[in-house]
Amino acid sequence: MSEAMIADIDDINFQALVVEASIRIPVLVIFWHPSNPESQENVELWMSLAEKYSGKFIVGKLNIEDQVMLASQFSVDDNSLPYAKLIRNGAAHGIINETMTEELCEKFIQPHIDNEIDNLRDVAKQLIQQGDYDKAFDALKEANRLEPENYNILFDMIDYYLKMGKPENAREIFDGLGEHIQQSVHGKQIAAVFYFSELANQGPDIQTVQKTLQEKGVQSPEGLEALFQLSSILILHGQEDAGAEALTKILQISQTVPNDIKPKAAESFRKLIAIFELKAPEKAPDYRRQMQNLLF
């Protein structure tokens, strides 16, 4: 089951978590103020709906007291509350500027999260989990036939080919996307997956990596290289936090032991953050700060 996608919005992550993310999934920005109890209750309401419809839309919480400039771009101040705005494909697709109830909010968000294309994409994901790849691809092809310009479907097809071990097919679709799509949050995540896939394919297998770590230790040049290879393998297999831990260890050691792995580890960390910005946006800022503290 997908996890609820909820994040605090600020001027640093607004472009990635609202504008770019809205290309692939609806983003509901809920505005609130610490001195306005009703607005805080509205935040709780939308968070509960994000849990109920997990994976269907993002809830972005915007504190108008802390993010004055960002709130002003939406022409929202204390007198505007209650206020919520839906963003799709980088543009506004409706607002709620009245007392919010669960019934009202569900009625507002439902048309944006329940349609035939999304149903076909959900069916494809379920079939992939069940191992029925042929039927999954049939569902994606039908979705693509209905909306050939829907980039979410194309990203799903890229994911499908990567899971099938056909990176050349995935790359062909990706290379055909416009640059602005490739540079979106999802596009950067796919590019990062290609990056880690190439690293893993160029390096030794997991057994050799583990043997090197046991025999040489992480402080040695061979051990650091093995730890770097391990991070790519972990990330490629969906263990992003473990991969981040391995990269963090390399950068920590690099503070006292000069080595040639540090630049590669830093680049991998940047690519990994692109994955977190899509899969776990609430973790991305912490990992970015962690990386910066270790590099500077």
**What is the band of 1 on the pLDDT scale with cuts at 50, 70, 90?**
very low
Contacts of residue 4, Cβ cutoff 8 Å, sequence gap at least 6: 47, 50, 51, 54, 55, 59
Residue 184 per-residue DSSP state: S
Closest by CA to 59, choosing from 111, 7, 95, is 7
- pLDDT tens-digit map of 119-162: 788 889 888 888 899 999 999 999 998 888 888 899 999 989 98
What string of H, E and C letters represents the secondary structure of 18-78?
HHHHHHCCCEEEEEECCCCHHHHHHHHHHHHHHHHCCCCCEEEEEECCCCHHHHHHCCCCH
Q: Is the pLDDT of residue 263 over 80?
A: yes
- pLDDT tens-digit map of 193-250: 999 999 988 889 999 999 999 999 999 999 999 999 999 999 988 899 999 999 999 9
What the chain holds in terms of domains, given with CATH numbers, is 5-113 (3.40.30.10), 116-183 (1.25.40.10), 200-295 (1.25.40)
What is the pLDDT, as a whole number, of residue 54? 87
What is the pLDDT, as a whole number, of residue 232? 95
| 283 in Cβ contact with 7 (< 8 Å) | no
First CA to last CA across the chain, in angstroms? 39
Question: What's the distance, CA 120 to chain centroid?
Answer: 21
Amino acid at 101: T
Closest by CA to 25, choosing from 279, 288, 286, is 279
Q: Could you give the dihedral angle defined by the CA atoms of residues 171, 173, 178 and 181, in that order, rounded to the nearest 10 degrees?
A: -80
Contacts of residue 74, Cβ cutoff 8 Å, sequence gap at least 6: 29, 31, 83, 85
What is the pLDDT, as a whole number, of residue 2? 61
Query: How far apart, in whole angstroms, are the C-alpha atoms of residue 245 and residue 17?
Result: 24
